[in-house]
Structure 1
Amino acid sequence: MRIGDGLAVVSTREIHMPGARGPQRVTPKAMAVLCLLADNPGKVVSRSALLAEVWPGTLPTDDVLTQAVTQLRKAFGAGMGDAAEGKRYIETIAKNGYRLTATVEWLADGESGGKEPGDSPASSAEPAPAPVAASDAPRPRVTRRVFVAGVTVLALAVVSGTFMLMRAARAPAAAVPDPAHGVGAPARPYRLITSAPGFELSPTLSPDASMVAYAATVRGRRGTVILVQTTSSAQPRQLSEPPAADVSDSLPAWSPDGREIAFARTERNGRCRVMIVAANGGGDEREVARCDHNDLLSFDWTPDGNGLLFGTMAGSDPSPGIRVLELATGRWRELDYDVGEDDFDYAPRYSPDGKWIAFVRNPQLGDLWRMPAAGGKPEPLTRLGTEIRGWSWLPDSRSILFGRRVDSQARLYRLDVARGRVDDLGLDDAQSPAVSAPTGMLAFVHRRPQFGIYRVDPLGSPDAPVTRMRLFESSGRDTQPTISPDGRQLVFTSDRSGRFELWHADLSRPRSLRPLEGVRPETRQAPVWSADSRKLLVAGWDERERASIYEVVPETGRATRLPIPLERPLQAVYLPDPTQLLIGAETGNGDMRLILYDRSRTPWRALQVVEGVSQARFDPVRRRVLFTRLSGDGLWQADLELRPESVRQVDATMPARWRYRTWAVTGDGGIDYLHRSPDCRARLSRIDSGAPATYCLDPEKLGSTNGFSVDARTGAVYVALATEDGTDIGFMALPESPVKFLLGIARWLNSFEKSTS
């Protein structure tokens, strides 16, 4: 390809620039990115499209794409005296993607567009032809030999997962329609079938996919109700009838015969019931089970429709594992399978063929497991340790669709159970998938919130008005605000620049706000400041997608990966002794532990371990370690040596195990807990104090669930609140399997050969 003044040779992955000492070789992925951009010169190609096409079958991060673009820019900048000149070739479009700004000419093999590679325009023996736009590029004749080579490459691509690079290398640049012709943006693969303001949640499809039921907020009610509508965007009708305005009906589940819908009803006093109602609304609601409002409740129908399959319940009628409620008798039947004392098995569902039950074990860590439908030994299907945002079996019973939080958004992924392969479906801001197995149709929740960082002034009495001020306006998602011990610096995570990064500001100089390079932060664990406010411990991911802990110096921007002798560290905490660190890490079997390390020697030496810890904090006032557990609600403490005899419970109810990140240590050694109440979406409650107090930070705006902080000197609270929020239900046919997609490409190649031979 002739690209601007340069020549890109796809087969050798070399970019030749005038004045350069020699060709610049780039990685296969970088060349694949260039080919896709060259297919659309002057047009923006989204980051999600580039990631989905160039890194199929993986869970890519924005960093790998950024590195590929940086490599291309350096190659284009070679010979210009400054690698930054390469930015003129590839432009970053904030919050969207990239655009190739240079003209493109596709050339036959062996051509150089009138120049030899590396020649400057003046040194060419003949004048170079003027670059032409991709839409004007001549279509080269494709011979049978080229065609056969293309098919061979395509077959290899099934194994390597890089067929997109080869397709771009063999075909001429696609013509780009002139916008003046009235051609709009490419149609998205789904349509939103709801459009009301507020939230539509937990969709469930009727067996024939003609109807969808979901929980929704409606005007005049504090709680949610169950709505039903056709999947053709018709107006919904209210199915459930909550007895009061503050009662919430949620978690609808459609029966296999399409006649009934089960749902959960939660009242403000904590009463929780599982109800069943006719799907057509022509009957009374009936109660079939009691539950606890503090539970992370989950249930689904048995394949015969005669029972409900429940996940772990820890409330008034506890069960350590998965069990079945027989609707005719009201009896519970425990499934005989291996489940640990601290395990929590969530969202169990039978496979369409009835042979398996899959579930999420310990949702705080988030991995999918599977066992035979009759019970037995469970096996892990994934080892992601992530936030799984809903999941559903696919019709073949060999694949699973699940939502997963990635950086600042949730996306949908397909899991091939037999091979363990995970594919990104390329849907932004999508979660809670629901699949109709008989029809292969998919409904999901589409949510694209915006969060801003607010400072809430020191709290007085619970009845006093709260003063909020938003910091650092943006249209992105700013979360995890962490104030330094001296109260002068703030770091937070954000996608405001189009990629997920760690940002830093000196609060006395708002214009000092900038991203800290060299680390991609983890969304589940907020950064931790050192006592002198000079350094940060940041959980993140390295260039090879390995969980890592970095020590970051904001003043210089230097980020150092710590040599922690663990595969999956998730959190690090400073202690008064500089030779010691607390490390929270996954064990690899669905559990987590807190380890006290001596880092004065290499390799680090583990001094003490506490099992089942989901998050830890250091309280410098009372010189104690505070932590939450995977296995239950509440807060615990231990001494700085983590001695077993020092471990005791501080509070039995707060934080809830599912909000294990929304608590912070205050300057006087107290604990603040951010949660939601029926009358306040962002409520702050004091834990472990002589006079418990509660404050409503904002009655309407939801608080982020991945962390906040308190200024130790002034008591000001730094919190992320939703500035824009709401959800809709998306509806679409399931994307074709990779095999069907490749067969379609093969058919296209065959027709392409016939039309050009």
Structure 2
Amino acid sequence: MTGSSHPEEAALPQRLLVGAGTVDFATREIEMPGGRRAIRVTPKAAAVLRALARTPGAVLSRNDLLAEAWPDTLPTDDVLTQAVTQLRKAFGSGSAGAAEGRRYIETIAKGGYRLTVPVTVPGDAVSTAAAPADVSTTAEGEPTRDGSDTPAPTRPAGTTPAPAPAPPGRWTQAWWAGAVLAVVAICVVSAVLLASRDPGPRLAATDDVSALAPGKPYRLVTSAAGFELSPSLSPDAGMVAYSASMLPDGTPLPGASILVQATSGAAPRAVSRPRAGERDDLPAWSPDGRDIAFARWDAAGGCRILLVSATAVGGEREIARCDGSELLSFDWLPDGSGLLFGTMTGSRDGAGLRILDLDPAAGGWRPLRYSATPGDLDYLPKVSPDGRWIAFIRNPQLGDLWRIPIDGGEAEQLTRLGTELRGLSWTRDGYALVYGRRIDSETRLHRLDLRTGATSDLGVEDAQMPVIARDADMVAFVHRQPQFGIQRIDAETGRRRPLFASSGRDTQPVAAPDGRQLVFTSDRTGSFELWWVDLARPGSLRPIAGVRPDTRQPPVWSADSRRLLLSALDAQGRPGVVEIGPASGRVTPLPVPAARPVQAVYGAGGGLLVIEEEREGRTVLVAYDRDWRVRGRMEGVSHVRFDPRHARVLYTRLDGNGLWSAPADLALSRTRQLSADVPSRWRYRSWALTTEGRLSYLDSDAGCRTRMTLFDLGDEGLRPAHSDCLDASHRSAVNGFSSLRDDWLVAVAVDDGTDIGLMPVPSDSDAPTSLIAKWLISMKRKSS
């Protein structure tokens, strides 16, 4: 750990059991039983915990902890308090609750802190120190020394055990006995069938589950600084190809290149040779393992699809152009005869799924005939292992999974998520799809069983873009754990100033029109919440109780800065619209007459503008008056804002780039297009109106990864007024922004990067025995 000078540092393992929690110092993660996910703490908080864990039960002074975690600096006591608070929140993220976290680290008045729970090494039966004396908590919840050596009783004194349940009736006993015998018989038959089935090819150096990180279902096969993206596995999963701009030793590459390495962790080698300013991405391994197809973009926006040998160096061969494609996607056909492309946004004839035959005699491009609406963006097409189906994501801005027969035909909607999807792959048996889905502040891997329609979370945090090997049950994915903090950026000088210390991800900052208030979303407490603060009183920072924000759209303030609208999720994950008085914390659900609202903003005359998700992934913008009467409707809207200066509605569309305006009643005859290219179709949320009536837009180019541009909003369209480069090199550096007078409030990635993860494909949770057991349970319920 940086900053430590203790000789015991090397002896302390990277992974410890602290009380009931598992601490991984390599990733700075604390995982508690019953917690939704592991909580990642800052390096300083991890350094404090490491110091306390070396001598559990002993009191360490504040000066000792400051000297260890903040060497060669002059920090204030506040930074240590924040670190301890962060650790307590992490230890309180499990099913035992926040009180458990406060109990783990005790404050010694005028002394310092001590760890009150045993510390052990996973797999060891002996603690590294004896458990300290029991602790209790004050009325304020602060742990204090109790002084008693008597262990707490397992049951409060004076209580009696709960009465045993009444024995079941004879019929019930007989029914369950028969059911158990049936299940046992089925298990025996299934075991015989599974034992006789061909297990398939074995892997070299990648199928050893014991090599995975302890306590995690995966291991990381890359470790370079920066971003490793777009993994593709060789057919036997022995090699992985990915895009990166830096070698593991820190040597920068001329441009983002395609690297190939063994999944056992050997050093990578570059198989593509981009020139300075070019970027190679999206490698796709051919079914025979000989070639890799990939895309190359140049500084001028040109795009080419190239083929390169997976084993030799050089020899790149262009097979297609993809100029102007903003969200490019392609994959090999199972027989290796061609590539299957998703919608190519930059091509006039690139709508829908198409096949590129690699044999020139076959005729080049071949469109697939299937049901689709003009403007649909069909992304990440993948052919099933048996060659019968093509699965894809339709309109990934508010996406769902779909499939069509391999030769085209009727499109079938497989999910009703309406959310941001990142990645898609078939399991080898063809019975399920594995995909990445945005959940709160992170993207997680999920599995869709195509036989039952059931979905399941695979338990892998911060994972996206899964890809399963053709001939091996291994899946690679992009593992990302960013930390976003809100910074105030001077629009004139570019000077940055952090607003709030946080161990979590603070995103989607939205300043009120009065310039005094700010709301943002954050998982800083372990739960994803909406936070409010009066900027003139930093101590007023607090979460809005009882609200789980829907991350698809940011909150929207009223013109008088007294209320805000938010799309929120209920306990079952269903979206709805709430109105919040942030100063009071009052939350009022609104009776929006829509089953799946996506975004709501204040309109003219006290009315509301609501984007609703309809069937088959379509959207409609509806203008309501105060009595919920419909004043107007407009199909295909992806994002909406109301411009009070001109009493008009500004919106973007799912089916193309650009900005449109409409009157308050959404009359189609009076709509106008203000821009044909800003915002782009994919950056439909990356724009906002400033308090001065300008439009701010976040995009990127070859020279600036994160660029903020101001446009004047005239009757004739957008006119660029000012542009600032917020970050020249980091991808995805910003997760939400807002304007505040002459400054920007931006959620900036202060700790970011990605690695490639690898793990066995999770077993089928709906095997025949599980399905029959479920049927038996359902029959039992019917008979009760």
TM-score when scaled to structure 1? 0.74
Please name the residue that 2:55 is paired with: none
Which whole-Å deviations, capped at 9, do the CAs of 1:482-519 have from their partners, x for residues lacking one? Answer: 00000000000000111100000000011111000111
Q: Compared with structure 1, are the counterparts of its residues 581 and 309 closer, same or farther at alpha carbon in structure 2 (3 Å cutoff)? A: same
| Structure 2 letter corresponding to 1:732 | M
1:701, 1:721 within 8 Å by CA — same for their partners in 2?
Answer: no
Please report how far the alpha carbon of residue 685 of structure 1 lies from its aligned counterpart in structure 2 after TM superposition. 1.4
Output one character per residue of 1:197-222: Cα deviation in whole Å (capped at 9) or x when no partner: 01011100011111100011224347
Map of 1:226 onto structure 2: 258
Deviations 1:709-740 (A, max 9, x none): 112xx232111110010000111111111146
Q: Residues 259, 487 of structure 1: CA spacing in aligned structure 2 closer, same or farther, 3 A cutoff?
A: same
Aligned twin of 1:272: 303
- Alpha-carbon offset, residue 318 of structure 1: 2.9
Residue 658 to residue 96, structure 1, CA distance change in 2 (3 Å): same
Alignment coverage as a number of residue pairs: 598
Q: Specify the SS of the correspondent of 2:682.
A: helix
CA distance change for structure 1 residues 555 and 236 in 2, over 3 Å: closer, same or farther? same
Q: Say if 1:318 and 1:96 are closer, same or farther in 2 by CA, change over 3 A.
A: farther
Q: Is the 8 A contact 2:21 2:32 kept in 1?
A: no
Q: Distance in 1 between matches of 2:288 and 2:571?
A: 48
Alignment of 1:251-266 (within 5 A): 251-266=282-297
- Say which of 185, 209, 219 aligns to 1:191: 219
Q: Deviations over 1:521-545 (max 9, x none)?
A: 0112110001111111011101222
Equivalent residue runs for 1:300-315 within 5 Å: 300-315=331-346
Residue matched to 1:57? none
Equivalent residue runs for 1:437-476 within 5 Å: 437-457=470-490, 459-460=491-492, 465-476=493-504
Q: 1:44 aligns with which of 8, 16, 21?
A: 21
Deviations 1:455-499 (A, max 9, x none): 122x34xxxx31221110112110000000000000000001111
Return 5+ residue gaps in structure 1 as ranges: 1-39, 54-90, 104-117, 129-144, 159-183, 747-757
**Alpha-carbon separation, structure 2, partners of 1:314 and 1:719:** 29
1:395-406 pair list within 5 angstroms: 395-406=428-439
User: 2:685 and 2:624 mapped to 1: Cα distance?
Assistant: 22
The question of whether the paired residues in 2 share the 8 Å contact of 1:662 and 1:706 is answered with no
In the alignment, what sits opposite 2:350? Answer: 319
1:628 is matched with 652
Q: Is the 8 A contact 1:525 1:706 kept in 2?
A: no
CA deviation profile, 1:356-388 (whole Å, cap 9, x unmatched): 001100110110001100100010011101111
CA distance in 2, matches of 1:616, 1:221: 41
Q: Distance in 2 between matches of 1:515 and 1:728?
A: 32
8 A Cα contact 1:369 1:379, kept in partner: yes
Partner of residue 737 from structure 2, selected from 708, 713, 722: 708
- Change in Cα spacing, 1:327 to 1:495, as seen in structure 2 (3 Å) is same
Aligned to 1:606: 630
Query: Hey, what does 1:332 align to over in structure 2?
Result: 365
User: Structure 2: how far apart are the matches of 1:123 and 1:418?
Assistant: 49
| One-letter amino acid matched to 2:722 | A
Q: Is the 8 A contact 1:634 1:657 kept in 2?
A: yes
Q: How does 1:669-688 map to 2 (within 5 A)?
A: 669-687=693-711, 688=713
Letter of the 1:673 counterpart: Y
SS in 1 for 2:546: coil
Q: Which residue of 2 aligns with 1:211?
A: 239
Tell me, yes or no, if the aligned pair for 1:261 and 1:277 is still in contact at 8 Å.
Answer: yes
Any idea what SS the aligned residue of 1:194 has? Answer: coil
Contact 1:621–1:667 under 8 Å retained in 2: no
Which residue number in structure 1 is paired with residue 610 of structure 2? 583
Structure 2 Cα separation of the partners of residues 43 and 153 of structure 1: 38
Instruction: Give the share of equivalent positions with the same residue, in percent.
Output: 51
1:97-496 → structure 2 map (5 Å cutoff): 97-99=94-96, 121-122=157-158, 152=180, 186-218=214-246, 219-221=251-253, 223-242=255-274, 244-329=275-360, 331-457=364-490, 459-460=491-492, 465-496=493-524
1:622 CA displacement:
2.5
How far residue 94 of structure 1 moved from its aligned partner, in angstroms, is 5.2
CA contact (8 A) 1:357 1:370 kept: yes
Unpaired segments ≥5 residues, structure 2: 1-16, 23-29, 38-87, 104-116, 118-153, 162-172, 187-211, 774-784
Partners of 1:48 and 1:545 in 2: CA distance: 23
Equivalent position SS for 1:364: helix
Change (3 A) 1:609 1:47: farther
Larger mean Cα displacement after TM superposition, 358-367 or 677-686: 677-686
| Matched ranges for 1:669-748 at <5 A | 669-687=693-711, 688=713, 689-702=718-731, 707-711=736-740, 714-739=741-766
CA contact (8 A) 2:735 2:747 kept: no
CA distance in 1, matches of 2:649, 2:734: 21
Pick aligned residue for 1:542 from 570, 573, 579: 570
SS at match of 1:658: coil
> Which secondary structure does the structure 1 equivalent of 2:379 belong to?
strand
Q: Shift in Å at residue 649 of structure 1?
A: 1.1
AA aligned opposite 1:199: F
Question: CA–CA distance in 1 between the matches of 2:622 and 2:685?
Answer: 18
Give the 3 Å change call, closer, same or farther, for CA 286–540 of structure 1 in structure 2. Answer: same
In structure 2, the partner of 1:25 is none
CA contact 1:634–1:654 (8 Å) conserved in 2: yes
Q: TM-score, normalised by structure 2?
A: 0.72
Residue 654 in structure 1 maps to residue 631 in structure 2: no
CA contact (8 A) 1:43 1:99 kept: no
Amino acid at match of 1:664: A
Asked if the contact 1:661/1:705 (under 8 Å) is kept, the reply is no
What CA distance in whole angstroms lies between the structure 2 residues aligned with 1:521 and 1:153?
Answer: 47
| Change beyond 3 A, Cα 1:221–1:229 | closer
SS in structure 1 at match of 2:435: strand
| 705 and 337 in structure 1: CA distance in 2 versus 1, 3 angstrom threshold | farther
Question: What is the SS of the residue equivalent to 1:708?
Answer: strand
Distance 1:223 1:658, change over 3 A: farther
Deviation digits for residues 386-418 of structure 1, max 9, x if unmatched?
Answer: 111101000111200000110001100110012
In structure 1, what is the Cα distance between the partners aligned to 2:330 and 2:158?
A: 73
2:723 maps to amino acid: T
1 CA distance for matches of 2:622 and 2:31? 38
Cα distance, 1:446 vs structure 2: 0.6
Greater relative CO, 1 or 2 (CA 8 Å, sep 6+) = 1
CA drift at 1:432: 0.7
Report the CA distance shift for 1:665/1:239 in structure 2 as closer, same or farther (over 3 A): same
Q: Does 1:551 align with 2:579?
A: yes
Q: Aligned pair in 2 of structure 1 residues 186, 314: CA closer, same or farther (>3 Å)? A: closer
Distance between the aligned counterparts of 2:32 and 2:672, measured in 1?
Answer: 47
CA separation of 1:153/1:671 partners in 2, compared to 1, >3 Å: closer, same or farther?
farther
